Copies of this chain bind each other. A is one copy, B any other.
């Protein structure tokens, strides 16, 4: 199978170990990812951001094939039993392809909004291991061991140290793909980095025991690629993932879902509530099939139905989301939690005085990220001499960013409260 990818150009899955992708692609669980956008509601701020987790899954598997090629060009440094045979290649590619298969609608929103809903990682594991899933059947038909090994690798566990963090780590194939893909789709060019150079900069760390060594960075040529990757990721956080319109929309949808869940618990479920939401809300176990029915379109459809719900808050917020009548934000300059609490209290009092439900119409949204830290990260820079150093010790840029935390705290509120809140809150 070869296909065109807007990010990577020609993408081919043709070798025996790569063909697992072709089989997995045909499963309904993977096809479902076509209906889940990679960036949730970010298209409200960036009209181009309509790309799906399906194309990201393909891109991630492709990056894994590139990584495997790099690793194999170096594997003469390893004893034969630590090399990437075709079985390990296949499981690495399958894990990369399936790493997000359990994702719920609107990216991370669903699992955050509904109390008690399991994280998407758990759903991924379940889809891979559940004998009723098509994904499971494809994997198991290749090798009985494969489902378990793929599930482990997705969680970062593998006997080859250098593979373990390749699916989930500072420089993993997931990030490698999504940064480029999100940059391509949003048009935020800052998020682009040089993938070829980054892959070429990876090498094996010196062996320290009986096990296969982890990945490391080639000190002679590689640091700049890592610096650029870290900065690209930072720019994407600043410009896209922390964008005020996106964050406001996410906050609104979380309120909508939480409200629907509460109505379910109160025995008054709104019309068209998806079974999975109703079950999660009321503490019943969610059947895999019901979970897989969820996608962006199903939730959009539900919210469209809720525009005429009896609960006035549910109806109003659903209407606003669909009409893109987004809440406004006010950035808080003071980073102290007490300052945040104070601002939130003040703003909610204003809402209450205006006759609006304070919990539904005013919120506090705190986004934060540490662009780079190597304190607990095993990723090391290796020099030709064998010397190992921490990236932050050898990089001018990373040394200055190490451990630094970027925080964006904002009040989120209905537009009609704006003047009063801006006047009252000292931001």
Contact = CB atoms under 8 A, between A and B. Distances in A.
Nearest to A297: B297
A397 B227 CA distance: 13
A371 B26 CA distance: 35
Contact of A200 (B12, B231, B396): B12
A79 interface: no
Nearest to A399: B404
B28 A34 contact: no
Given A73-B14, A224-B235, A228-B235, A188 B4 contact: yes
A54 B50 CA distance: 11
B186 A4 contact: yes
Q: How many copies does the complex hold?
A: 4
Interface residues of A, number: 62
Interface in A277-334: 297-298, 300-301, 322-324
Contact of A404 (B15, B52, B186, B396): B396
Nearest to A183: B6
B194 A190 contact: yes
Contacts of A192: 189
Contact of A300 (B28, B55, B196, B297): B297
A55 to B, nearest CB: 4
Contact of A47 (B2, B55, B196, B324): B55
A149 interface: no
Interface in A47-67: 47-48, 50-52, 54-55, 58
A10 interface: yes
With a 10 A CB-CB cut-off, give which of A6, A47, A192, A297 has the most chain B CB atoms. A47
Interface string A173-198: 00000000000111111101010110
Interface in A366-425: 396-397, 400-401, 404, 406
Given A2-B200, A4-B187, A6-B184, 4 more contacts: A190-B224, A234-B397, A298-B301, A400-B401
Give the top 4 A-B pairs by smallest Cβ distance, nearest first: A6-B187, A4-B187, A6-B48, A47-B55
